[in-house]
Chain A
Amino acid sequence: MNVIADNSRRKKAGKWRWTERLAGGYLLLFLIVAFMLPFTGMVQHPYENLNPGPISQPPFIFSSGLGSNNSSIYWLGTDGTGQDVLANLIYGARTALIVSVPAMVLATIIGVGLGCLAGFWGNSGLRVLVVNLVINVILLLVGLYYIIYIRQVHWLNAFKVGSSKVLLESGIALLTLFSLGVLGWLLAKFFKNFGFKKQITLPIDHVVLRLIEVVGAIPRLLLVMCLVAFVQPSLINVIFLAAFTYWTGIARLVRAELLQIKELPYIEAARVAGMSDVRILLKQALPNALPPVIVAVAFGLGSLISLEATLSYLGIGIPLEEASWGKIIKGILQNSDAWWLVVFPTLTLCFTVLSLQIVAERILKEITPTRQDF
């Protein structure tokens, strides 16, 4: 029961230091600016602004464009096509958020799910009826045949038309899966009555570890770049690809934590008390495994923001009409005197990544004050 005991004498994690305050404040500001400003109409989308300002104007020149009817002030200068760097930065922040947050959420869901399976049940924890397994695998294959192969035309048409058709298709897919699931359940019950009661253990840990190894066999950026070759450049695709490559770290972390936690006495106590495995996992084990995941998520967000900037700098995957920090920085290649094209995006990028890391460590301290020693 030592974890519970630790929690009961939870001590205050101390005041926020000034770096932590700064980081938190910056992140808040970042969120507000990235989400709110584009909707107010005060800044124009850099690639939709039809009357650009002077080309490559250095920052902090506050005379509003002489001799032209363009009266805006370019606080941070303009790039090679006369677009405002500040507007570019704000819209770039939005792109960075749009890519990194959903990708990280997806990756966390996949990672925590698989990590739980591998860590909590391990290679011998999950016993299933052979009949059940066989029926379910067959029905899953049948389901995939109907959902993906037979309805491929409908899917393609749906994606061309838009969201309502996609929702309809997803509904049909879910309905098919659900009815097949019911069918499988009935079949399994039927066979069980006829004496098919042999059980086997599923080596989930093995499977998940091998999966992690397969995805990890190629360096991450390389994998993303390779997969980008197969799809059209769009933010959605980049999000899915990033999620596909980032789940491994979180899965490994959750697995390692659960391996330790499941040996603790309080899990044993819960088992003796007659709680089901799923309940123990969700109510007892998982909450104690999550704090390190928070840090991993924050670091992952930072590295996803960097990845997005890198991809847009290389001009792969991120569509041309999206503003991005990487693209502003690219402007230095045309004009090596334009230091403001590198300095401002770099500073925002680094501040964002640093703030994420600092805040994550702070949150970790808040949640588990006893952990802060290591």
Chain B
Amino acid sequence: MVRYVLKRLVWLIFTLWLICSLVFFLSKAVPGTCLDWQLGEFGQTINSTKITTGQSGNKPVIPLFYFSVHSRAVPDTLYRMQPEQHQQFFKNLILLSGNRAAVQAFYQTIINLQKSAAQLPNLTLSEKQQLRYQLELIFALADKTQLEQALLRIKNQVSTRSYPVSYREKVTLAQQQCQAIFKKKQILNVLMPAVTWYGFTNEYHIWFTNFIQGNLGTSCLNQDPVNEVIAEAFANTFVITVLSLGLIFILASELSIWLSNARRAKWKQTILSLLYALDSVPLFIVALILITLFASNSYFNIFPAFGSAPDSVPGVPAYLTWVYQLPYLALPVISLTLSGLPYVTGQTYQAIQQLLSREFVLVAKAKGLPEQLVLRRHVWRNALLTLITLFTGFLPVIITGAVIIENIFAIPGMGRLLYHTILARDFPVLIGIVLYLGLIKILAHVLADILYYLADPRIKVPA
């Protein structure tokens, strides 16, 4: 038993590491850094004092992984080139032509043009910025004709206005260098692979050692430690999840026992069809209907619609404040329960129906036990195994449900955090959420194994 659980645990932790690494690499593959994403998406709304722009510039640039496989034409110190877009531009041109020297020269000329644009006389500030912007746009291109067109446009602009001759010559030089790149191709150089070993000072190694020690880094959004951010959100999610899980399983087993009672044949079909129909309603619609009916001014305004109760209420002892949370939690928990109930009830009901035809039920009935007792003491105990299996399978559904519910009811839990994380591309927090939700699932699996054993000691867990 212990060996089995341990084996399982080790394997699942390996799985988690795999997934977290995958998310890590994907987050590195997405162009731009944390900062770029925020400036792009929340340029106006973000609190500018919290962003420490200088910091990211001073950080030493380190390679991504222990080694890299690249074309021999591409320099192995490419990762040091900043910003990232230039890196991509440089690599693209080399992969197209293989002529590293020519690409290097062309790149240097463009950078020079950009720098010297600031010192041009007879130009207004906005014109200088315009020129720099146009030059920067070149770095987004990796196509011969597009590059030449862009250079031609800059050339035309330079020759119509009163730019210094030296500057005009430099633009012409850039054009020539651009042509040279594609004229003297060294394709063989591109096709040959090369492997570079970078050693242990790489991003992945640092991330991974921190990851093992439980340090998940800081959030991109406001530099808070990821663990704190998640811990804050977790409490709310935990309450909702546990409450609705409990409700679902209690209601499901009661309902299926009630339905199994032979005298209720008339009700049976109606309720089963109702549950079947309810199963096809997506959770967010259930929640929206509840919110419209019971929390808006249009119909019955019984429950508060959004948010959570204040943390401390004056005149009430601290341990009683959670009571004030209940009205806020009622609708979310009800909608989660409603959406989970059909599936669990259906499965339990079927399990009970199968058990009812077994011999031990007949024996119990033959002994003259009342039907209620047979159902509760003999059948239900055996149906418990199905319920336990369902429990592990059902936990992910509840967690996903919490994501939707928390968004609709604006509860500051993991689901809402996840939503905002995704919108803000806050990858450290995303990795943290994936890790902790995975851990919860693992724990549920192990718990189910133990419960299995407790419910029916005859079961030999496969070693």
Asked if residues B69 and A332 are in contact (CB atoms below 8 Å), the reply is no
A218 in contact with B280 (CB, 8 Å) = no
Whether A219 and B193, one on each chain, are in contact in the complex, defined by CB atoms closer than 8 angstroms, is no
B400: Cβ under 8 A from any A Cβ: yes
B400 and A354 contact, CB distance less than 8 A: no
Q: Which of these, A219, A221, A354, contacts B277 with CB under 8 Å?
A: A354
A217 contacts B12, CB within 8 Å? yes
B residues near A326, Cβ cutoff 8 Å: 284
B293-307 interface bits toward A, Cβ cutoff 8 Å, 1 = contact, 0 = none: 000111000000000
Main secondary structure of the interface of B (DSSP, over half): helix
Q: Find out whether the CB atom of B292 lies under 8 angstroms from the CB atom of A217.
A: no
A349 to B71, alpha carbons, bound, how many Å? 51
Given the complex, which residues of A lie within 8 Å of B92, measured CB to CB?
Answer: 152-153, 156
Chain A, interface size: which category?
35 or more
User: Of residues A156, A213, A230, A309, which shows the largest number of chain B Cβ atoms within 10 Å of its Cβ?
Assistant: A230
Q: Do A145 and B69 touch across chains, with their CB atoms under 8 A apart? A: yes
Known contacts A220-B396, A222-B437, A229-B430; A150 and B71 CB within 8 A of each other:
yes
For residue A87, give the distance in angstroms from its CB to the closest CB of chain B.
21
Contact check, B95 vs A306: say whether CB atoms are below 8 A apart. no
Contacts of A329 in B (CB 8 A): 284-285, 288
B285 touches A349 (CB 8 A): yes
Q: With A and B bound together, what is the CA distance between A156 and B418 in angstroms? A: 30
Q: Contact between B289 and A342 (Cβ–Cβ < 8 Å)?
A: yes
Known A230-B27, A336-B297; judge A222-B280 contact (CB<8 A): no
Contact B282 A226 (CB under 8 A): no
User: Is B135 interfacial (CB 8 A cutoff)?
Assistant: no
Which of the segments A39-47, A130-138, A274-282, A310-318 contacts the partner chain? A310-318
Q: Which residues of A contact B280 (CB under 8 A)?
A: 302, 349-350, 353-354, 357
Q: Does B345 contact A (CB under 8 A)?
A: no
Q: Is B143 an interface residue (CB 8 A)?
A: yes
The answer to whether A150 and B23 touch across the interface, beta carbons within 8 angstroms, is no
B12, B288, B407, B430: the one contacting A226 at CB < 8 Å is B430
Mask for A54-94, Cβ within 8 A of B = 1, else 0?
00000000000000000000000000000000000000000
B438 touches A217 (CB 8 A): yes
Taken together as a complex, chains A and B put the C-alpha atoms of A145 and B95 apart, in Å, by 12
Is A316 within 8 A of B422, CB to CB? yes
Residues of B within 8 Å of A346, CB to CB, are 281, 285, 289
Task: Give the interface residue-count category, chain B.
Answer: 35 or more
Q: How far is the CB of B440 from chain A (nearest CB, A)?
A: 10
**A155–chain B nearest beta-carbon distance, Å:** 11
A172 to chain B, nearest CB (A): 14
Of A153, A220, A221, A350, which contacts B281 at CB under 8 A?
Answer: A350
Further pairs besides A145-B69, A314-B419: 16, Cβ < 8 Å: A150-B71, A152-B92, A157-B143, A213-B15, A217-B442, A227-B26, A229-B421, A229-B427, A230-B26, A306-B282, A313-B284, A314-B407, A336-B292, A342-B285, A342-B288, A346-B289
Closest 10 CB pairs of A and B: A219-B396, A336-B296, A353-B280, A221-B400, A306-B282, A229-B422, A153-B92, A219-B400, A354-B280, A350-B280
Residues of B within 8 A of A (CB): 11-12, 15-16, 18-19, 23, 26-27, 29-30, 69-71, 92, 95-96, 142-143, 190-191, 193, 276-277, 280-285, 288-289, 292, 296-298, 396-397, 399-400, 403-404, 407, 418-419, 421-423, 425, 427, 430, 434, 437-438, 441-442
Could you list 25 A-B pairs, sorted by A, with CB under 8 Å? Answer: A152-B92, A152-B95, A153-B92, A153-B96, A214-B15, A218-B19, A218-B437, A218-B441, A219-B396, A221-B400, A226-B23, A228-B422, A229-B425, A230-B27, A306-B282, A316-B419, A333-B288, A336-B296, A336-B298, A346-B289, A349-B280, A349-B281, A349-B285, A350-B281, A354-B280
